Amino acid sequence: MKSFISLEEAIDILDANVKAIGTEEVELIKATGRIISEDIYSKIDNPPFNKSAMDGYAIIAEDSNGCNEIKVIDKIFAGEVSKAEVINKIAVRIMTGAPIPKGANAVIKQEDRKQPSKLYHLKDLGGSAVYNVFQGDNEFVTLKKVIKENENICFKGEDIKKGTLLVEKNKKLNFADIGIIASTGISKINVFKQPKIALISTGDEVIDVGNILTEGKIYNSNKYSIISRIFELGYSICEIQHAGDAEGEIGSYIEKLSEKFDLIITTGGVSVGEKDLLNEAIDKINGKRLFWKVKIKPGSAVLCSIVNNSIIISLSGNPTAALTAFELFVKTSLEKLCGKEKIEIKREKAILCDSFNKKSPQRRFIRGRVEIREEKQNVYITQVKNGNGILSSNLNSNCMIEVEAGNKGLQSGCIVNIIKF
């Protein structure tokens, strides 16, 4: 096992040991938020036929010259097909989305014609009413606008050609992806399986919310923040346990859960105190420790192991340290379990809008809030107090600002790397 290593080396070790967990076929309607495991190509042209973009009249465009009166011989709605053929001085009344009838090469909008030349009286209870009703070959319209050939027609394949790549492999599917896949008639797709995740919090000093807080005890905030973050990322957590500070109890939980879970997250017990027992617990159940301690602050105390092919990521019990390591190691491991080719930390550039006047002997991550202004990313420091256990530093933050090792301070206006939540 390696210890006190760089962040880059820790990521490489994880990348070499975390494997995708396979694929499954799911119904398209249930695929939102899942990671697609194959490229999806359009099976059809979309639209699949030439169709009207307007309510109006399908005509031959040259008939719109000179305010011509045109005979209307049929009417079609979306979903219907006209058997009529359009020739000179002949039109078909057409609604938006209906197929263009044979012979027509343009659609004139309903607003660009004068009222029909004939009106028909229909008897109604209590009197009579006047309606514009299509009556076979008795209706005529007068066009009052000149239009060009192909005007107001959506052509076959105009939106999407058959064989076009719709969604690339490894994309997390959103509503737009689902809609465009549905438009090509696909009802089922292959996605990466959802990882089975378990959480074990540790510590005799930790009690659950809802209990009376007695002297020396603290509430288990890590449990709730980590579970909520997992939900935010679109995953589910299948098992939640708490173990006291007893080597055998912690090891027993891990060994049992490792038989059926892909990833086990633990909190607490990874530092150097007398009750930091995770290293010994992993050894006792014949697990393989990959690395322990990384040169970052906060979150240095992190242990990554393998037990029965299950990845175990053991985070600090200190809230800010735990959440920092979660973003760097847990989130990225989950992405690879779900099919991403490589574990990597996604960084973006932003303009720092505050100064950070503190030396950083090793790499540091501080909480910030990024905003878009004038098409540029500006980031503000939200972390007023420092310390691994300062939970309030997470409030109002949506990213971490990365400060390189050896940095003597950051000045407002400089460009920094940020990691978005």
Q: Check residue 125 and give its pLDDT.
A: 32
Q: Check residue 115 and give its pLDDT.
A: 63
Q: Check residue 82 and give its pLDDT.
A: 94
pTM: 0.80
CA distance 76 to 93: 6
pLDDT over 80 at 135, yes or no = no
pLDDT over 60 at 10, yes or no = yes
CB neighbourhood size of 380 (10 A): 17
Number of H helices, E strands in the chain: 7, 28
Q: Check residue 387 and give its pLDDT.
A: 54
Question: Which of 20-24, 221-225, 394-398 has the lowest average pLDDT?
Answer: 394-398
Both structure tokens of 258: 């490792």
Per-residue pLDDT of 68-120, as tens digits, reads 788 999 999 999 999 999 999 999 999 999 999 999 999 999 988 876 554 43
Portion of the chain with pLDDT greater than 70, in percent: 92
Q: How confident is the model at residue 246 (pLDDT cuts 50, 70, 90)?
A: confident
Q: How confident is the model at residue 11 (pLDDT cuts 50, 70, 90)?
A: very high
CA distance 254 to 252: 6
Portion of the chain with pLDDT greater than 90, in percent: 82
Strand order in the sheet with 90-94: 106-109, 56-59, 90-94, 69-76, 139-142
Residues present in the chain in total = 421
Q: Check residue 137 and give its pLDDT.
A: 44
Q: How confident is the model at residue 144 (pLDDT cuts 50, 70, 90)?
A: confident
Q: In whole angstroms, how far apart are CA 143 and each of 61, 112, 135?
A: 11, 6, 19
Per-residue pLDDT of 269-312, as tens digits, reads 998 887 789 999 999 999 999 999 999 999 999 999 999 999 99
Please state whether the peptide bond connecting residue 298 to the residue before it is cis, i.e. omega within 30 degrees of 0: yes
Q: Check residue 346 and give its pLDDT.
A: 97
Q: What is the DSSP letter of 341?
A: S
Specify whether the backbone of 157 is left (phi greater than 0), alpha (psi in -120 to 50) or beta.
left
Question: Is-contact 421 230, C-beta < 8 A?
Answer: no
Per-residue pLDDT of 314-324, as tens digits, reads 999 999 999 99
**Number of C-alpha atoms within 13 angstroms, CB side, residue 213?**
6
Q: Say which residues have a Cβ less than 8 Å from residue 37's Cβ, sequence separation at least 6.
A: 23, 169, 170, 190, 191, 192, 339
By CB neighbour count within 10 A (0-12 exposed, 13-18 middle, 19+ buried), where does 52 fall? buried
Q: Check residue 67 and give its pLDDT.
A: 63
> What domains appear along the chain, each with residue ranges and CATH number?
2-22+194-337 (3.40.980.10), 24-45+164-191 (3.90.105.10), 51-154 (2.170.190.11), 348-420 (2.40.340.10)
- What average pLDDT is seen over the chain? 91
Q: How confident is the model at residue 30 (pLDDT cuts 50, 70, 90)?
A: very high
Both structure tokens of 294: 């990384």
Q: How confident is the model at residue 267 (pLDDT cuts 50, 70, 90)?
A: very high
Per-residue pLDDT of 377-418, as tens digits, reads 999 999 866 554 456 778 889 999 999 999 999 999 999 999
Question: Which of 168-172, 350-354, 387-391 has the lowest average pLDDT?
Answer: 387-391
Ordered DSSP codes for 5-41: E-HHHHHHHHHHH-----EEEEEGGG-TTPBB-S-EE
Torsion of CA 318, 324, 325, 326, to 10 degrees: 100
Q: Check residue 126 and give its pLDDT.
A: 39
